[in-house]
Amino acid sequence: MAAESSFRALRAVEKDEGFFVTEIQEMPLASLPDHDVLIKVRYSSLNFKDALSAHGHRGVTREFPHTPGIDAAGVVVECGSGAFAPGDEVLVTGYDLGMNTPGGFGEYIRVPSDWVIKKPAHHDLRYFMVLGTAGLTAGLSVDRLATTVKPSDGEILVTGATGGVGSIAVALLAKLGYQAVALTSKVDHSDMLVRLGAHRIVDRSYVEDLPDKKALYKETWAGVVDTVGGSLFSKAVKAINHSGAATTCGMVAGTEVSTTIFPFILRGISVFGIDSVEISKARKERIWQLFDNEWALTNLDGISHDISLEELPAAIEKIHMGKMLGRMVLRHNP
């Protein structure tokens, strides 16, 4: 496969100080960084971090103009290290992709071979981008929770259940025999959560309205998969059963956590932080292999929507405003 001399990419551009727009630009292939694997991107996906980058969040991306896209799935064009052959179908998620290294919102990326994973055998590239970083994070969360909490222990609360991580966590928990309780402010989309396997749906206000000053609430959940952080996570922790556990991976509801020591010393709960960016390549490969085999999810069509590069800016605004449901998959032209 020969590479074109130029390619299209969605770029975040600073027009005035602090004012950012997105533009589809024609980029020379030579503009990509000097890494050893050139990949023609077939699919990417939209994540909250991409929206932050597109809006000029310097905690995500330091220099602009920039091409966001923390996920990419495509075909190897060149590999200087010999680790991959031209034509290999591969996945790249996390590390610096889409943050300060041009990402999957471009039709080509060039990355270090250590970032690249060969696509598992049984599912196509699009399936892995429906999952993307959201699915990888959900898989890491459920995998970690399962070391402490078993399906017979009781219900698992999933916060932000209609979002990317939350919706895939609901589907995966159901696949593994857990009773997933989907917490959401979008209860009018309960049908989507039921199709994913949610045991029941609870309005976000159920947790939000719990009294702030109580050190502990009634034991309610065997575990929590938290995707939003903030006060929701702080309150959910206080209602975990004795010897239960929680995972946390997001911060859209806030970065501060307020609790007491009592859930930990009186109920013996555990809290696990989940990172999908800088974990080892071996851990990523393990989770992708699980999703390709015993964790294979067949009910994701209802939460995934393909969009073009031209449709991407509107989708970015939607996720930035908290109105996104499920997963948006960017399909590049062949």
Ramachandran quadrant class, 163 (left: phi over 0; alpha: psi -120 to 50; beta: rest): beta
User: What is the location of CATH 3.40.50.720 in the chain?
Assistant: 134-273
Rounded mean pLDDT of 37-57?
95
Predicted local confidence at residue 159, as pLDDT: 95
Q: How far apart are CA 166 and CA 278, in angstroms?
A: 21
Query: Helices H, strands E: what count in the chain?
Result: 9, 15
Q: Could you tell me which CATH number the domain at 6-119+300-331 has?
A: 3.90.180.10
Taking only the tens place, the pLDDT of each residue in 1-30 is 667 889 999 999 998 887 899 999 999 999
Q: How large a percentage of the chain has pLDDT more than 90?
A: 79
Q: Is the pLDDT of residue 297 over 90?
A: yes
Rounded mean pLDDT of 198-207?
92
Predicted local confidence at residue 254, as pLDDT: 79
Whether the Cβ atoms of residue 98 and residue 92 lie closer than 8 Å to each other: no
> Which band of pLDDT confidence, cut at 50, 70 and 90, is reported for residue 185?
confident
Predicted local confidence at residue 41, as pLDDT: 98
Whether the Cβ atoms of residue 136 and residue 266 lie closer than 8 Å to each other: no
Using the structure block, give the residue that is written with the tokens 């000029």.
Answer: 56
Looking at residue 148, its amino acid is: T
> Which band of pLDDT confidence, cut at 50, 70 and 90, is reported for residue 251?
confident
Predicted local confidence at residue 84, as pLDDT: 97
Instruction: Name the CATH code of domain 134-273 (choices 3.40.50.300, 3.40.50.970, 3.40.430.10, 3.40.50.720).
Output: 3.40.50.720
Per the prediction, the chain carries an average pLDDT of 93
Predicted local confidence at residue 303, as pLDDT: 86
Predicted local confidence at residue 43, as pLDDT: 98
Q: In sequence order, what are the residues at sequence separation of 6 or more whose Cβ sits closer than 8 angstroms to the Cβ of residue 89?
A: 73, 74, 75, 76, 118, 119, 125
Query: pTM above the 0.75 mark?
Result: yes
User: Could you count the other beta carbons within 10 Å of the beta carbon of residue 249?
Assistant: 24
Closest CA to 57 of 104, 14, 24, 94: 14
Rounded mean pLDDT of 319-327?
81
Predicted local confidence at residue 301, as pLDDT: 85
User: What is the location of CATH 3.90.180.10 in the chain?
Assistant: 6-119+300-331
Rounded mean pLDDT of 248-262?
86
Predicted local confidence at residue 189, as pLDDT: 76
Taking only the tens place, the pLDDT of each residue in 103-138 is 999 999 999 999 999 999 999 999 999 999 999 999
What single string gives the DSSP state of each residue in 168-204? HHHHHHHHTT-EEEEEES-GGGHHHHHHHT-SEEEET
Least confident window among 32-46, 47-61, 142-156, 244-258: 244-258
Q: Is the pLDDT of residue 48 over 70?
A: yes
Ramachandran quadrant class, 28 (left: phi over 0; alpha: psi -120 to 50; beta: rest): beta
3-state secondary structure of 167: helix
Query: Could you tell me what percentage of the chain is helix, strand and coil, using 3-state DSSP and rounding each to the nearest 5?
Result: 30, 30, 40
Phi, psi of 280 (to 5 degrees): -65, 155
Q: How large a percentage of the chain has pLDDT more than 70?
A: 99
Rounded mean pLDDT of 92-101?
96
